[in-house]
A and B are shown apart, each in its own frame.
Chain A
Amino acid sequence: MSGLYQIDFGKPERVVGIDLGTTNSLAAFMDLTHPQVIPDAGGERLVPSLVSMAESGEMVVGNAARPLLIEHPERSVYSVKRLMGRGAADVGEEAALFPFRIAPESESVIRIELGERRFTPPEISALVLRQLKSNAEAYFNQPVNKAVITVPAYFNDAQRQATKDAGRIAGLDVLRLVNEPTAAALAYGLDKREEGTVAVYDLGGGTFDISILKLKDGIFEVLATNGDTHLGGDDIDNLLIRIALEDIQSEWGEDVAGSGEAVQRLRQAVIGAKERLSFAPFADIVFEYRGRQYRRRLERELFERLIAGIVDRTLGPCRACLKDAGLTPERIDEVVLVGGSTRIPLVRRAVETLFRARPHTELNPDEVVALGAAIQAGILSGEVEGKLLLDVTPLSLGIETMGGAVEKIILRNSTIPASATQTFTTAVDGQTNVLIHVLQGERELARDCRSLARFDLKGIEPLPAGMPRIEVRFLIDANGILNVTARDARTGKEQTVEVKPTYGLTDAQVEAMIDESIDHAEEDFQARQLMEARVQADHILAAVEKARQHDAYYGLSELEKQQIQDAVNQLMLAYHSDDYLLIRAQIDHLNGVTMKLAETMMNEAVRGALKGTRI
């Protein structure tokens, strides 16, 4: 970092709020009283959660990776959020629709093959986070090292841990994971009403959440949450792709499903049509591939019949959530819609019918979560006062008992932090360690729940069976992540606990990834310089454009005008190169040839001011 930024102790440290989405990601910050989205150098507010490996081996992120997704789909990753905290067996048939390959040894952590390299989902997410971090650094012109990141409320422990790992790999200190629907409720500022009950329906690209909150004097107390971490707009896209592929096969007599490029082009075509259908009664899916064109008109009515099953899948969790909150639909005062997929009219109608309330849609559903994360960042940094989120754990926590049953020790929808203490002993004389299998889920049998980790209590004093008494404390922290500590109840001595996560990375693996990302720091430095040079170029180009409307410009000789035009052209050419030194040189050059123009304008402004006339 040295040399890049002047450390200015006068500036307060920035804590940003990040929505790390399935389709798009974005960052926001607290600007005095209101949260604001942080745009990139080009003014774009959303960063597509898309990562591609260019032929040079360079990793390209966001909008810049869009063309690569078409050219080299097999080296591109999207929707990686659906793979976070999961093993290959969880992904199943969905893997066939992804353009990238999943490496064989992916049981506990998925490994994505891009060219010669392999990446885990947290590493891919870290690249997106790093992009957001550097956008924020360019925006504030100061380092940004702390963040609040949002996760789906229904994310389990492994998925949360994976998100936190991604932050660490990206060089961010993740102060808090906040549940997306809760963040949205915060952004809507619904606490302005003194008391009320709010349902937040969040259907994004890959995940669905429903949360019911009670609001009272600035406290946002989540009563219950439910959802499906594998349900979202992606499922609609995949459904339309499958139908279109069959259609194309019967029309062309050719199956294009095997071509990554064709599938990605088709994906974009169906997404385009899906989005238009939210506003128009019909839309055309237009797909061009190797000189042939497929065109299919999709009426909204048919579209709605096709996706009815997907929309219906959101209603079960909504009803279960109401039941857990102990409420009937009439008791819900307000409903908030979050996530791009809630733009679909059928989704809105379904929500309205269920909750018998017209949903709030005033805030941009793509941005509302990041804005809420920024408010939570403000709460942690002390900038925002009087608001407090009390969230819950979405899944019950249990331990495996004899015979493969599960004993639940912390029930779902318990306010977090939540804890439970259990005492363990040995079964055999002289036994020195005890293995505890921890699971998450609502089912009775261990094999039907999600294995979270095995905790090995080590160094137990060798005693007759049943004598040792080891007190184990299970604590779910405010991030929804489990922490386990143990002590010998007889001696009071702290006991070592070794954690073996079932899904996810060990601490050592994360450390290694952090080291590796520091190795790439030089590349990051280049990338940042490039971005900053482009921001500077944007400014001067805009200034020159404005000056050309000015009287002073018409006073210049043709030669002078030509020089300015040449310098502008050269800067524009340099702009899209990767060479930040060249961009800077061209900026200096343009500065030089416009010097006289700037002086004339300045003088006229001074003269104008003296005469008291408007210029």
Chain B
Amino acid sequence: MERLTSCWNCGKNTEQIHFCGSCSSLQPPATNYYDFFGFEHRLNLDPAALEDRFYRLSRRLHPDVYFRRSAREQQFSLDATAILNDGYRTLKNPISRAEYLLKEKGITASENGRQPPPELLEEVFELNEMLEELRQGDDSLRPQLEEAEQRFLKLRDEIDCRLQVEFELYDASGDRSRLLEVRSLLSRRRYIRNLIEEVERELVGA
């Protein structure tokens, strides 16, 4: 983590995030979202606590508050608020939060997101045929497609449940193998989400 150990303003060593412990001037921001918010690096996060922290930090860091301060602090405030907002967006959503934590732990997203999970191969093949026919103007397949969409939505919900279980197991144990499981669930989920989006686009557009 690239954090200054001594304050740019008073020169004293500071261990605190955001503000100097001695002179309370704004410090260059921490770049890790978990550290920035002051949360443990966990997969589960209480949304209410996150929102509360977001509002609290916004009040203290936002550029509106630094208008009459030094150019340096104004720059820190802008950088810090950008990280605050980017981090809030990332951590608020469980999926992007998990992706972020995996990346942080050096587990890169697998390319499997483009490949259909083996057990879905047949169904995806069928779906693509239906979509093609719909594009050609055959509206009679609409009910079948809507049915397929419902099936995929249900599948996605199942994955979300399993993710939730894995999140809890990882948070309790810190076991890296759990993260690998999370990765494979995420890539399945990504694939299914793409399918749902495609079906929705065709159903609306047609």
Q: Are B89 and A388 in contact (CB under 8 A)?
A: no
- By a beta-carbon cutoff of 8 Å, the part of chain A in contact with chain B is 175-176, 216-217, 219, 379-382, 388-390, 414-420, 475, 477-478
Please pick, from B55, B64, B85, the residue contacting A379 in the complex, using a CB distance under 8 A.
B64
Report the minimum CB–CB distance from B110 to chain A (whole Å): 20
Q: Within B69-113, which residues are at the interface with A (CB < 8 Å)?
A: 78, 81-83, 85-86, 88-89
B62 at the interface (CB under 8 A from A): yes
Report the minimum CB–CB distance from B70 to chain A (whole Å): 15
1/0 per residue, CB under 8 A from A, across B54-75: the answer is 0100110011100110000000
Main secondary structure of the interface of B (DSSP, over half): helix
Which B residues lie within 8 Å of A475 (CB)? Answer: 78, 82
Which B residues lie within 8 Å of A380 (CB)? Answer: 64, 67
Closest A residue to B68 using CB positions: A382
Report the minimum CB–CB distance from B47 to chain A (whole Å): 13
Q: Are A216 and B67 in contact (CB under 8 A)?
A: no
A176 to B67, CA, bound (A): 10
Which B residues lie within 8 Å of A219 (CB)? Answer: 55, 58-59
Closest B residue to A390 using CB positions: B58
Which A residues lie within 8 Å of B58 (CB)? Answer: 219, 388, 390
1/0 per residue, CB under 8 A from A, across B31-60: the answer is 000000000000000000000000100110
A416 to B84, CA, bound (A): 10
A-B contact count (CB 8 A): 51
Q: In the complex, how many residues of chain B place their beta carbon closer than 8 angstroms to a beta carbon of chain A?
A: 16
Q: Are B64 and A417 in contact (CB under 8 A)?
A: no
A477 to B55, CA, bound (A): 18
Q: Are B86 and A418 in contact (CB under 8 A)?
A: yes
Q: Are B67 and A478 in contact (CB under 8 A)?
A: no
**A388 and B59 contact, Cβ closer than 8 Å, known pairs A415-B89, A418-B86:** yes
Q: Are A417 and B81 in contact (CB under 8 A)?
A: yes
**A388 and B85 contact, Cβ closer than 8 Å, known pairs A219-B55, A417-B78, A477-B78:** no
Report the minimum CB–CB distance from A411 to chain B (whole Å): 8
A477 to B68, CA, bound (A): 17
Which A residues lie within 8 Å of B59 (CB)? Answer: 219, 388
Q: Are B85 and A416 in contact (CB under 8 A)?
A: yes
Q: Are A389 and B64 in contact (CB under 8 A)?
A: yes
Q: Are B67 and A415 in contact (CB under 8 A)?
A: no
**A418 and B64 contact, Cβ closer than 8 Å, known pairs A216-B55, A219-B55:** no
Which B residues lie within 8 Å of A478 (CB)? Answer: 62-64, 78, 81
**A415 and B88 contact, Cβ closer than 8 Å, known pairs A219-B55, A219-B59, A475-B82:** yes
Which A residues lie within 8 Å of B63 (CB)? Answer: 417, 477-478
A272 to B189, CA, bound (A): 58
Report the minimum CB–CB distance from B126 to chain A (whole Å): 26
Q: Are A419 and B62 in contact (CB under 8 A)?
A: no
- A–B complex contacts, Cβ < 8 Å, 23 sampled: A175-B67, A176-B64, A219-B55, A380-B64, A382-B67, A382-B68, A388-B59, A388-B62, A389-B64, A414-B85, A414-B89, A415-B88, A416-B85, A417-B63, A417-B78, A417-B81, A417-B85, A418-B89, A419-B82, A477-B63, A478-B62, A478-B78, A478-B81
Which A residues lie within 8 Å of B78 (CB)? Answer: 417, 475, 477-478
